[in-house]
Structure 1
């Protein structure tokens, strides 16, 4: 596995990987319905992707800085769930966050992913109320990265 910084021409593949996730089907599909990663987002945010030995995209994460540091997106392809790839991406994210001077990062979790983030050391600090695009409550967590 190789982890590298995303480039502008990765935008369509990142969006496709995200939208193919079984975790965001059915009731959860609405949050991604009109969302697409674009070149501006890739230039602005800290987006890193993992590829397998054949160069196939296996997962990615995105750190946003404004208004406060947040793990904005984290996806692993369905076929790689449970293989340790998510843990490896999360460890990489933690290292990048520390390198860019982030001491603490917010995670607004997809409810089914809460256990994963807790196992990685994040602490639940609250709940985000439903919104028009996310019609369910979402756990809010914080992670110390320094």
Structure 2
């Protein structure tokens, strides 16, 4: 397993992974199409954010996107290829995220979580602090989580 910064040339590849990973949870085609823009990772996003991929055996198994804010880091994306879910890639990305946050001398990570991913984050020490409005579906609420880095 190797974690490295994504390149701008991988924008389409990680966008496709993001879409397939979200679809893994059984969302309808209509819902997925409504999410397409939010799940599209642009070259500009890769350039202006901290975007990492995890790869093994010559293929990308997952990626995450971190956005530095004034007083916290936003974990904007953390997606694992559906064929790689449950094989430790998400945990490895989480550990890498905590190291990046530490290297930036930050403590707080906010997470706009998919409902299906909330349990993953809670198991790693994040706590639910509220809900946020979906940017795609009116009146849909999403878990808002906070993780405080220790040490």
TM-score where L is the length of structure 2 = 0.87
- Equivalent residues in 2 for 1:1-146 (5 A)? 1-21=1-21, 22-23=24-25, 25-26=27-28, 28-30=31-33, 32-35=35-38, 36-53=40-57, 55-66=58-69, 68-131=72-135, 133-135=136-138, 136-146=140-150
- The whole-number CA distance in structure 1 between the counterparts of 2:34 and 2:3 is 26
Deviation of 1:48 (Å): 0.4
The two structures, once aligned, show a CA RMSD in angstroms of 1.8
- The whole-number CA distance in structure 2 between the counterparts of 1:83 and 1:103 is 27
TM-score where L is the length of structure 1 = 0.90
Unaligned regions of 5+ residues in structure 2, if any?
none
Aligned length: 144
Deviation of 1:56 (Å): 0.4
Deviation of 1:30 (Å): 4.7
SS in 2 for 1:23: coil
SS in 2 for 1:70: strand
Q: After the TM superposition, which segments of 4 or more aligned residues of structure 1 sit over 3 Å from their partners?
A: none
Deviation of 1:25 (Å): 3.3
Contact 1:62–1:71 at 8 Å: present in 2 too?
yes
- The whole-number CA distance in structure 1 between the counterparts of 2:117 and 2:37 is 22
Deviation of 1:28 (Å): 4.5
- The whole-number CA distance in structure 2 between the counterparts of 1:86 and 1:23 is 16
- Relative distance call for 1:105 and 1:8 in structure 2 (3 A) is same
